[in-house]
Amino acid sequence: MTEPPADLVVRAVGVEKRFGRLEVLKGISLDVRKRETVCIIGPSGSGKTTFIRCINHLEKIDGGRIEVNGHLIGYRERNGQLVEDSERSISLQRTQIGMVFQRFNLFPHKTALENVTEAPVHVLGVDKSQATTEAVALLARVGLADKRDVYPGKLSGGQQQRVAIARALAMKPALMLFDEPTSALDPEVIGEVLHVMEELAHEGMTMIVVTHEMGFAKVAADRVVMMDEGVIVEEGEPEQLFDSPEHSRTKQFLSKIL
């Protein structure tokens, strides 16, 4: 087996996932390098969300392996077999992987600032004053400097999602996962979230983004991956995949949404 590139952040090899008899992932293999933004597109039910949930072990895999920064995620090897890792080890691994969901999952009883400082203080043990300073800077970075003392219930959906992005960034992750982060938002606020994500991509954050926003994929992605029925149908640079897709399934899908 060839030595993986030194700048490899994610290596997924032959990943399989089943829910009962339903085979959702049928041997997904994907490499993501440092500073790369990979957008995963495809129809609903193609396995996109399941795949990125497997990357931080929110879903257990049934076959294959996933490594982040050279470390197996969710499992360890024993006598040539993969056995599930301890909860403590899995939790530690997840601190390196930021995740932004469709729903914002903010603590409703905590302000925007408190939501962002929560994990660095209680998970990483960062000093409260340092965490606060960094959280203020992150809220400014996502355009919410004036909302630090506001509770989620008083924020728009777009503002809540930007707080969720700041919260994930506060852990200084090696990798950011986005699971259709704009799908629950009103159309008029989608742009403000995509703008923050575009800036992260241009700044070199390593990102895997499941999205239906083809405009974002065109401008922010280094590579676009098309999934359908649990397999990767096609992948390539945005210009190549959108302008001259090779696979008939990709052509069919894009013709319906572009």
Is pLDDT above 70 for 252? yes
Is pLDDT above 90 for 258? no
Kindly report, residue by residue over 6-58, the tens digit of the pLDDT: 799 999 999 999 999 999 999 999 999 999 999 999 999 999 999 999 999 99
In whole angstroms, give the CA distance from residue 50 to residue 196: 24
Residue 108 near residue 152 (C-beta atoms within 8 A): yes
Q: What is the reported pLDDT for 142?
A: 96
Kindly report, residue by residue over 207-243, the tens digit of the pLDDT: 999 999 999 999 999 999 999 999 999 999 999 999 9
Whole-model pTM: value is 0.94
Q: What is the reported pLDDT for 3?
A: 61
Q: What is the reported pLDDT for 79?
A: 86
Q: How far is CA 164 from CA 13, 50, 100, 123, 245, in A?
A: 30, 20, 6, 17, 34
Residue burial 21-36, b: 16+ Cβ < 10 Å; e: rest: eeebbbebebbbbbeb
Q: How confident is the model at residue 257 (pLDDT cuts 50, 70, 90)?
A: confident
Kindly report, residue by residue over 57-106, the tens digit of the pLDDT: 999 999 999 999 999 999 998 888 889 999 899 888 888 999 999 888 89
Residue 202 near residue 144 (C-beta atoms within 8 A): no
Q: What is the reported pLDDT for 4?
A: 65
Q: Which of 55, 76, 58 is CA-nearest to residue 66?
A: 55
Question: Around Cβ 55, how many Cβ atoms within 10 Å?
Answer: 24
User: Which has the minimum average pLDDT: 5-9, 116-120, 132-136, 180-184?
Assistant: 5-9
In whole angstroms, give the CA distance from residue 94 to residue 4: 22
As a whole number, mean pLDDT of residues 109-121 equals: 97
As a whole number, mean pLDDT of residues 138-163 equals: 96
As a whole number, mean pLDDT of residues 115-130 equals: 94
Q: What is the reported pLDDT for 184?
A: 87
